[in-house]
A and B are shown apart, each in its own frame.
Chain A
Amino acid sequence: AQSVTQLDSHVSVSEGTPVLLRCNYSSSYSPSLFWYVQHPNKGLQLLLKYTSAATLVKGINGFEAEFKKSETSFHLTKPSAHMSDAAEYFCVVSARTGGFKTIFGAGTRLFVKA
């Protein structure tokens, strides 16, 4: 079985300050983990993915995430928030269980204050 929990439904930061969006997962298999971003009335854009090659994954727009197996976490961070980062972020877990099973988190809405 798989599940993914995004620990915050909303996060608010000031421009120029660090961003932390938290994600915990569970999986009976070797999971792949992803972060997607969705701007208003747009589709989901892939930010980064964990492929089991390196635990620290760098993505687009300065975001990165660290896979911590012992904590079953895959938190998304960015050193300095920009106004354009305001969006909804989804943590996703996927594993091959026969066919692939993909589970989406409920999303975290990021607000960036000027």
Chain B
Amino acid sequence: DVKVTQSSRYLVKRTGEKVFLECVQDMDHENMFWYRQDPGLGLRLIYFSYDVKMKEKGDIPEGYSVSREKKERFSLILESASTNQTSMYLCASSFQVGNQETQYFGPGTRLLVL
């Protein structure tokens, strides 16, 4: 079974703090993703990575950065947390077979910024 783990299920941080969200997958997948999920807005892609040390902006990268130093680990960084970054953060990894890509998700991290 594919296993994607996230370092925290719940986090509470203060405005201005630097926040690290960690994601680890154990299936040797090339691709990893960070999404945020908000009521009424669905899932929105923040950043993704197709290889180690490689990153691509998604639809809403502002206020975030990422790091992929090892294939299995993809970190999301909030340089200076703000209240509008309170959200559910979902990490995913994927594999590709031909023209199909299947994403597998972690359990999510619910972040509250005060």
Pick out which of these stretches binds chain B: A18-26, A37-45, A67-75.
Answer: A37-45
From B50, B104, B110, A46 is in contact (CB under 8 Å) with B104
Pick out which of these stretches binds chain A: B11-19, B66-74, B77-85, B93-101.
Answer: B93-101
User: How many B residues face the partner with a CB closer than 8 A?
Assistant: 22
Determine whether the beta carbon of A34 is less than 8 Å from that of B102: yes
From B42, B50, B96, B110, A105 is in contact (CB under 8 Å) with B42
Q: Is B103 at the interface (CB under 8 A from chain A)?
A: yes
Chain A 61-114 interface residues, beta-carbon cutoff 8 Å to B: 90, 92, 94-96, 99-100, 102, 104-107
A-B contact pairs, 6 of them (CB 8 A): A43-B108, A44-B105, A45-B105, A46-B104, A94-B100, A96-B101
Binding site for A on B (CB under 8 A): 4, 9, 42-43, 45, 50, 88, 90, 92, 94, 96, 99-108, 110
